[in-house]
Amino acid sequence: MRRLKITAALIFVVGVLLLSAGIALYSEESIEKISSTKIGEINTKNISASASMAFKNNDNSSSTKEDSHNSSNNILTEINMKTSKASVIIPPRVEVFDSLTMEELAEKLNRNLGNDYIAGKGYLIATECLARGVDPYIAVAIMLHETGCKSTCSSLARTCNNVGGQKGSPGCNGGSYKAFATLDEGIIGFISNLENNYFKVGLTTIDTIGPRYAESTTWPQKIHWYVDQIRAS
């Protein structure tokens, strides 16, 4: 009987121990599951946070790149504008006569050549006169007086291209006044005559040219009048 009691007690104790062990194992398993779940949640949160930060950083990086790109574009635009401005070279003003450029002088002469036969020859007259050392105002004044082209050019100018009343051969229509094949030849021949027979020998003013160029004593006065008109135009 006593042995039975002892055996029952031992079985009870063993049962309690086994039950305790089972509870402990269950608790440990639960703890592991809970811990694993918590860690998973924490990791998920960390991953989400990292992804969010990465996304924000990527946005910031894109924004920075865009700002940098825009800044580069602005700098390039500014450089291009400066280069464009620097590449525009304005040539210096070159005055050739009476504070005028060649173009201005030619236009001034054209304004005085009328609308008839010698109209528009200002540039040819200007270049020839300056190349030969002849005053272009005096040359045009003599042409206007000798040809009448301020209104209507004479037949000598129209028929034989003689713009200065020059004499010589070949004669125009067999006369004593010289004939030229073209108007340009007539203008160049006239200016060449002023160069060689007047300006080169020191006759460079209207008053010194007059006595040799024409018999009329009023000729210088008339040429002065034309020159004043040309200069004022």
How do residues 118-165 score in pLDDT, each as one tens digit?
999 999 999 999 999 999 999 999 999 999 999 899 999 999 999 999
Q: What is the pLDDT of residue 187?
A: 98
Alpha-carbon distances, residue 219 vs 24, 126, 189, 226 (angstroms) = 143, 23, 21, 11
Whole-model pTM over 0.75: no
Q: What is the pLDDT of residue 84?
A: 57
Q: What is the pLDDT of residue 9?
A: 55
Q: What is the pLDDT of residue 87?
A: 72
Alpha-carbon distances, residue 178 vs 9, 43, 161, 185 (angstroms) = 165, 115, 9, 12
Which residues in the chain land under pLDDT 70? 1-86
Q: Do residues 157 and 117 lie in contact, with contact meaning Cβ atoms separated by under 8 Å?
A: yes
Length of the chain: 233
Three-class HEC string of the chain? CHHHHHHHHHHHHHHHHHHHHHHHHHHHHHHHHHHHHHHHHHHHHHHHHHHHHHHHHHHHHHHHHHHHHHHHHHHHHHHHHHHHHHHCCCCCCCCCECCECHHHHHHHHHCCCCCCCCCCCHHHHHHHHHHHCCCHHHHHHHHHHHHCCCCCCCHHHHHHCCCCCCECCCEHHHCCEECCCCHHHHHHHHHHHHHHHCHHHCCCCHHHHHHHHCCCCCHHHHHHHHHHHHHHC
Q: What is the pLDDT of residue 207?
A: 98
Q: What is the pLDDT of residue 75?
A: 64
Residue 5 token pair = 């009691």
Q: Do residues 223 and 206 lie in contact, with contact meaning Cβ atoms separated by under 8 Å?
A: yes
Cβ atoms < 10 Å from Cβ of 219:
18
